[in-house]
């Protein structure tokens, strides 16, 4: 596991002034990667590093020789750490590179971002026991938490082709639903559209088919993390999900934040992996001393909503809920990698592992409207008087995330937003 080093020094300051402002998501201690191009251009997307409110064109610095993010992600951890150190040194106040690199900066407000890398395969996990229990009560009131949950990191294979970047909009999905009092199902737009507060973990180096990744190596195969909203049509989900799980209720759209915060940047925000008293301990292939000591990561998350009416009135988004991964996640990122490959499955650079909805133990920590509103029975009342049981056309949903602790500089994951359009 990556440990703190000189690049995390709280005393480091950048010659990019905006990176030194209190509360900045992208100080010099962060240095996340993304793909950008000048707004309004037809240029190819290239690799950038966020610093303050700017983007540094990484290839133009000469530190890398590719515009292919997946190639960069496939490099060995030692090479990635050396690159981080070189970027940090060049952006540090008083560096010899400051004069030349200043010419390679573009304002984030002047660029167009795309998904951070080519996503070959996407697996969505189910790592919050609180979410699993609450949702289980809605779909299976007699047996909400299935017996395998606390033994197996549950996941299903999603669809990467419908993953978009922050700021995207999507049409309300259509599909089969069946009302409790209906004799037969019907086809139409979803009436119970929901969001899911998630993190997306990106694979760096892959593994050969048949080569399981053990816990001692698992984190070395992770490149970084982004905010992730896996939109869900709950009424379609309720009709289709048994016996094989979600299908059309999930694959119509998912939205990612544009910046990948690296595992190296997250080093100061590690936490012990602990199980509640009475819960089973992981099987040996999902256990290691390092994972127990610091396999969890402390990331604060929040959900905000802006309706079309609020937007027209110039009103800011309102906070719906928030939690922290140490309260919400039942499995660590390393355990997801180890379980995904224990059967010999081969992961590839750019593969995405969704955390599943991250909900904490309290009602105000719900990571979805289905939980927050009791399956729509207790609508959220917004400050302007509007009510929401599920998302309506024109709604913009925003996820934000950051890491902070005493003795370390706060770093952010930025935000991911998406807007619901009327069904096509």
The whole model's pTM is what?
0.95
Fold classification of 122-421 is Fumarylacetoacetate hydrolase; domain 2 (3.90.850)
Tell me the pLDDT tens digit for each residue of 139-197: 777 777 878 888 988 888 899 999 999 999 999 999 999 998 999 999 999 999 999 99
Query: What is the model's pLDDT at position 144?
Result: 76
Question: Mean pLDDT throughout 231-241?
Answer: 93
Judge contact between 354 and 125, C-beta under 8 A.
yes
- CATH class for the domain made up of 6-114: mainly beta
Query: What is the model's pLDDT at position 61?
Result: 98
Set 8, 130, 131, 340: catalytic member: 131
Q: Convert 163-173 to b/e letters by CB count within 10 Å (16 or more is b).
A: bbbbbbebebb
Contacts of 346 (CB under 8 A, 6+ apart): 206, 207, 208, 209, 210, 211
Q: Is there a shared CATH topology between the 6-114 domain and the 122-421 domain? A: no
> Domains of the chain: which residue ranges?
6-114, 122-421
Query: What is the model's pLDDT at position 141?
Result: 77
The token pair that represents 278 in the structure block: 């009475």
**Rounded Cα–Cα distance for residues 331 and 336 (Å):** 7
Does residue 157 carry a catalytic annotation?
Answer: no
Query: What is the model's pLDDT at position 340?
Result: 97
Query: Is the confidence at residue 19, as pLDDT, over 80?
Result: yes
Query: Is the confidence at residue 374, as pLDDT, over 80?
Result: yes
Listed range (153-162, 205-214, 287-296, 319-328) with the worst mean pLDDT: 153-162
Question: Mean pLDDT throughout 112-139?
Answer: 88
**Rounded Cα–Cα distance for residues 175 and 160 (Å):** 19
Q: Which of 166, 196, 168 has the alpha carbon at shortest distance from 258?
A: 166
Mean of the per-residue pLDDT values of the chain: 95
pLDDT > 70 fraction of the chain, expressed in percent and rounded: 100
**Which DSSP symbol is given to 164?**
E
- pLDDT bin (cut points 50, 70, 90) of residue 389 is very high
**Rounded Cα–Cα distance for residues 216 and 274 (Å):** 18
Question: Mean pLDDT throughout 68-75?
Answer: 98
The token pair that represents 287 in the structure block: 């256990």
The token pair that represents 310 in the structure block: 């609020």
**Rounded Cα–Cα distance for residues 405 and 220 (Å):** 24
Element housing 312 (H / E)? helix 308-312
């Amino acid at each position: 596991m990556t440990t703190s080093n000189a690049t995390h020094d709280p005393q480091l300051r950048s010659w990019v002034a905006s990176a030194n402002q209190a509360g900045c998501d992208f100080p010099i201690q962060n240095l996340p990667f993304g793909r950008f191009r000048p707004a309004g251009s037809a240029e190819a997307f290239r690799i950038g590093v966020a610093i303050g409110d700017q983007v540094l064109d990484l290839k133009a610095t000469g530190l890398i020789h590719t515009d292919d993010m997946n190639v960069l992600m496939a490099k060995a951890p030692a090479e990635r750490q050396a690159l981080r150190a070189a970027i940090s040194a060049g952006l540090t106040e008083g560096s010899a590179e400051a004069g030349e690199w200043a010419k390679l900066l573009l304002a984030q407000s002047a660029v167009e971002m795309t998904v951070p890398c080519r996503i070959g395969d996407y697996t969505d996990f189910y790592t919050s026991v609180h979410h699993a229990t609450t949702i289980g009560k809605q779909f299976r009131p007699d047996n909400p938490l299935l017996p395998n949950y606390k033994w197996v990191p549950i996941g299903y294979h999603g669809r990467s082709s419908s993953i978009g970047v922050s700021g995207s909009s999507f049409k309300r999905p259509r599909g089969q639903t069946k009302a409790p009092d209906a004799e037969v199902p019907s086809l139409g737009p979803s009436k119970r559209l929901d969001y899911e507060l998630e993190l997306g973990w990106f694979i760096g180096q892959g593994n050969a088919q048949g080569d399981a990744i053990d816990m001692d190596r698992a984190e070395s195969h992770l490149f970084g993390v982004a905010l992730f909203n896996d939109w869900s049509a709950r009424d379609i989900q309720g009709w289709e999900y048994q016996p094989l799980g979600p299908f059309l209720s999930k694959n119509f759209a998912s939205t990612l934040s544009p910046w990948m915060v690296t595992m190296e940047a997250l080093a100061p925000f590690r936490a012990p992996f602990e199980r509640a008293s009475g819960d089973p301990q992981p099987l040996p292939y999902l256990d290691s001393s390092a994972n127990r000591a610091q396999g969890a990561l402390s990331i604060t998350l929040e959900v905000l909503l802006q309706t079309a009416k609020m937007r027209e009135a110039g009103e800011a988004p309102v906070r719906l809920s928030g939690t922290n991964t140490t309260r919400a996640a039942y499995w660590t990122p390393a355990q997801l990698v180890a379980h995904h490959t224990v059967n010999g499955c081969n992961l590839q650079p750019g593969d995405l592992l969704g955390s599943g909805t991250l909900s904490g133990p309290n009602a105000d920590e719900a990571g979805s409207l289905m939980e927050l509103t009791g399956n729509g029975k207790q609508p959220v009342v917004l400050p302007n008087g509007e009510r929401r049981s599920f998302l309506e056309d024109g709604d913009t949903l925003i996820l934000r995330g950051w890491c902070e602790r005493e003795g370390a500089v706060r770093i952010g994951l930025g935000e991911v937003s998406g807007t619901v359009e009327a069904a096509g």
